[in-house]
Structure 1
Amino acid sequence: MEQSVDRLFSEDLVHKAGQGYGADTKEYRKLGDFESYIFEVSYHGKPTILRLTHSSHRSPGQIEAELEWVNYLHQNGVNVSKPYSSSEGSYVVTLPVEGSFFYASLFEKAPGNRIEIQSEMFNDNLFYEWGRTTGQLHRLTTSFEPSGVKRPQWDEEELLYPEKVLPFTDLQFNKVADQLVHTVKSLPKSKETYGLIHSDIHSGNFFLHEGKLQLFDFDDSQYFWFVHDIAIPIYYSAWYKFQNGNKQERTEFSKVLLEQFLKGYEKEFHIDHSILKKLPLFLNLRDLVLFNVFHKKMDVENANERFKALLGEIKGRILSQDSIVDLNV
């Protein structure tokens, strides 16, 4: 979390947010604080997830749009963590702090457990179900019509533009980044290839329960090509599984993951092969977003050498227009 936001946060906000939903925050447990503050609290005697998002990150309209879509998916059979309404009947509770705001949201806690990438359960069966659930989401989103504010288009994300977030200027880096974004912008769009997606379905954003995925954390949901939701599982799985490995190891693993993922995906929805072939572009785009978000959210100057080496690896791929894995699809 940025220092400017962290300075505004206090324990009192957790309790005020809980009061807005009638949730018990006496024994809350902090779960994360990267883009929002995430806590486990109690609601009607059950463990529940409380999220507090600063106004510098999302507007209340954007959050309402996210939760409207999540509720739509829940009502249509997707295993997602449904949102709860506040005591006043809205999804979002607003908490003013020093001329800015924190926006609270309350979610059902997903059943099941996280599957560690190095575990035996991170296998073909999981990859198949991962793809099937993603295809189900994409099939349903083609029929979704928001009632009010829409989630943002992908190119509204400031993390695509290094000149907006990096604490230094690198003209060559900026030029390559601009070329990448321009290339993606030029891709054709259709209702079967482009729409509202999760945009961050890596293994940290779902639990496995009785053989089915339970999705959560739709904070990054945006209008984007569906293939991006296929690139994300490949990118993070290859990176986390082979942090010290070489590109060949990552590629061989990713081929297996993609094959099983697409088998599951095609059970629910069809992916246009001409767009699927552009998957490396979306892997490269994730490199760009990660490089920029690390510089925005973290103290890179005082980071350890391992982390600095990771940043160097990512930057090298961006400048050489290379991908984290080589996939010919």
Structure 2
Amino acid sequence: MLKLKYLFNNVDLAEMLVRNWELDERSPDVFTTYRISSNATYSFQFNGKTQFLRFAPTSEKYRENLLAELDFISYLRSKEYGVLETVGSKSGNELMEVQTPWGEYYASVFKQVPGVPISETDLNDHIIFSYGKSLGKLHRLSSEYQPVRSKRQSFSDVLTSIETFLIDLPHETLALKETTLLQDYFQSIPKSKNNFGLIHYDFEYDNVFYDAKSQSCYAIDFDDAMYHWFVMDIEQTLDSLQDCILPKLFQEKKECFLDGYRTEFKIEDDMMELLPAFRRFADLYGYVRILRSTEDQWNHEPDWLVGLRGRLMEAMKNKSRYFGMDL
């Protein structure tokens, strides 16, 4: 999540950045929709088709991670995996670094993928099975992947970064203890090409689209991808599904998802038993991202920002409920 000061709609900035790509000039309004969270994303038209401008301040991102993300997407497309497609700028670059009156920004453009988000379907067994199959195929391809230019960060890099951030915050002793617990715990888990590799990390129902025509899934938003155990993706995905599936149906849908996954890639039973530990990682990472995002405060904040801050504080409370407990 970006710092709160970057969550404001800035159409002038977005228009300045998007001019580095081709776009339709017929409409007086360049953008049709926008969303700001870990990045700012604005939709626009080119040749009558929807594309998405994604950008963030260079202070919020690592260039090597962004290049590695684009490399991984290119690799997946070369293997005919359902994934978003990048668009080269007028200068032929997938990633632009642009100086603006608001600072320096990284920007990329992606084509819209077919279909609708998984959350907007009826979540029938065929769709859930396809959803699981898509994640299994992603992990199978990841197990064979060798980076070309840059390498994404790992879970260990994330924990080190969290430790560095927390160590100077005297009121975050429990979060720091949780970081140390996870660092020690993960050292005991074996790694192999069958259980560890580059994961999506955010394979949630709003980042995976189901296309009824091809009856297959397309993944977007690899911004959080990292090297981790593959079951981290499984835990994140199943956790998100609980938001849109009735509790009495969840176990059945979970098994359907895992059946689809297993058609593409094996799940080791002993790794599935570790899912609670991976939930702890996700909670800690989410907690610290919110903490970092909200550390700045201003007088006379608008009502929407006050409301957002309140919801984020509640989310932090939920994510920290197991901090410091034995794993």
Please indicate the TM-score interval, normalised by the length of the shorter structure: 0.7 to 0.9
Match of 1:257 in 2: 253
**Distance (whole Å) between structure 2 residues aligned to residue 146 and residue 267 of structure 1:** 25
Letter of the aligned partner of 1:60 in structure 2?
Answer: R
Match of 2:318 in 1: 313
Matched, 1:294 2:298: no
Alignment of 1:243-282 (within 5 A): 254-282=250-278
1:192 aligns with 2:197: no
Q: Is the 8 A contact 1:159 1:289 kept in 2?
A: no
Over residues 79-121 of structure 1, what are the superposed CA-to-partner deviations in whole Å (9 max), with x where a residue is unaligned?
111111112222111112469521111111012112337x6x1
Name the SS for the 1:116 alignment partner: helix
Deviations for 1:198-228, whole angstroms, at most 9, x for unmatched residues?
1110101112111321110000111111111
Q: Offset of 1:159 from its aligned partner?
A: 8.9
| Residue in 2 that maps onto 1:35 | 38
Q: Is 2:79 the partner of 1:83?
A: no
Aligned position for 1:147: 148
CA RMSD, Structure 1 to Structure 2 (Å): 2.9
Structure 2 CA distance, aligned partners of 1:114 and 1:284? Answer: 26
Please state if 1:213 is matched with 2:209.
no
Equivalent residue letter for 1:21: W
Q: CA deviation at 1:56?
A: 2.0
Shift of 1:170: 2.9
Number of equivalences? 311
Residue in structure 1 matched with residue 300 of structure 2 by the alignment: none
Distance in 2 (alpha carbons) for counterparts of 1:274 and 1:164: 32
Superposed displacement of residue 176, structure 1: 2.7
Give the drift of 1:127.
2.3
Other-structure match for 1:169: 171
Given that 2:4 and 2:294 are in contact with CA atoms closer than 8 Å, whether structure 1 keeps it comes out as: no
- CA distance in 1 between counterparts of 2:204 and 2:154 reads 20
Q: Deviations over 1:270-314 (max 9, x none)?
A: 122222221121112111122222222247995576664443333
Greater shift in the superposed pair: 218-227 or 156-165: 156-165
**Within 2, Cα distance between the matches of 1:300 and 1:128?**
43
Q: Distance in 2 between matches of 1:286 and 1:185?
A: 17
Q: What is the aligned partner in structure 1 of residue 110 from structure 2? A: 107
Give distance in 1, aligned partners of 2:170 and 2:203.
31
- Could you say if the C-alpha distance between residues 168 and 99 of structure 1 is closer, same or farther in structure 2, counting changes exceeding 3 Å? farther
Letter in 2 for 1:15: E
* SS at structure 1 position matched to 2:202: coil
Deviations along 1:223-267, one digit per CA (max 9) or x if unpaired, are: 1111111011112222x248xxxxxx85x6553333112211111
SS at 1:271 equivalent: coil
Distance 1:193 1:18, change over 3 A: same
Q: Please report how far the alpha carbon of residue 167 of structure 1 lies from its aligned counterpart in structure 2 after TM superposition.
A: 6.2
Is the counterpart of residue 224 in structure 1 residue 225 in structure 2? no
> Structure 1 residue runs of 4+, over 6 Å off?
none
Residue 99 of structure 2 aligns with an amino acid whose one-letter code is: P
Q: Distance in 2 between matches of 1:140 and 1:65?
A: 15
What do residues 104-149 of structure 1 show as CA deviations (whole Å, max 9, x unaligned)?
11111012112337x6x12433321111001111111122222211
1:31 Cα deviation after fit? 2.6
CA contact (8 A) 2:159 2:183 kept: no
Distance in 2, matches of 1:267 and 1:148, equals 31
Structure 1 unaligned runs (5+)? 243-248, 323-329
> Against the structure 1 CA distance between its residues 315 and 253, is the aligned structure 2 distance closer, same or farther, given a 3 Å change threshold?
farther
From 238, 242, 250, give the equivalent of 1:234: 238
Question: Secondary structure in 2 aligned to 1:111?
Answer: coil
Amino acid at match of 2:320: K
CA distance in 2, matches of 1:105, 1:144: 23
Aligned to 1:285: 281
- Determine which of 57, 80, 84 is the counterpart of 2:60: 57
Question: Shift of residue 17 of structure 1?
Answer: 2.2
1:162/1:258 CA distance change after superposition, 3 Å? farther
Partner SS state of residue 317, structure 1: coil
What is the correspondence of 1:2-21 to structure 2 with a 5 Å cutoff? 2-5=3-6, 10-21=10-21
Partner of 1:72: 75
CA shift at 1:40, angstroms?
Answer: 0.4
Contact kept? 1:284, 1:321, Cα under 8 Å: no
